[in-house]
Amino acid sequence: MIAPVHRRMVMSRKASSSKPAACEVCQGADLVRRITTYPVHLTGPLEGKQIHVGRVALHECQSCGHLMPTPAGQAKVDRNVAMGVRLFLGQLP
């Protein structure tokens, strides 16, 4: 008995880019990917304080210097800011 041959079908798909088309501030198109410290200015009861999140993946505009986190970088910023706010408010065990 001959065993059937299984062939894999390779589906080609267009890779989507997480790179924004233009800078949110100046609409410049020259963006460079960086991994750097991202400063977050707090508001509300913690106004005037900053949290510096280290090693965030982001895109930097070469025209104006604006920093735009990638989706993964933004998730890291969100996690770290939530923990930092809890630390400032004394809510950590």
Tokens of 58: 């982001």
pLDDT at 22: 95
Would the pTM count as exceeding 0.95?
Answer: no
Task: Identify whether 14 is part of a domain.
Answer: no
Task: Identify whether 68 is part of a domain.
Answer: yes
Output the tens digit of pLDDT for each of the chain's 93 residues.
555 555 555 555 555 667 888 999 999 999 999 999 999 999 999 999 999 999 999 999 999 999 999 999 999 999 999 999 999 999 987
Q: How many domains does the chain have?
A: 1
Task: Identify whether 46 is part of a domain.
Answer: yes
Show the 3-state SS of 22-90. CCCCCCCCCEEEEEEEEEEECCHHHCCCEEEEEEEEEEEECCCCCEEECHHHHHHHHHHHHHHHHHHCC
pLDDT at 5: 54
Domain extent at residue 75: 31-88
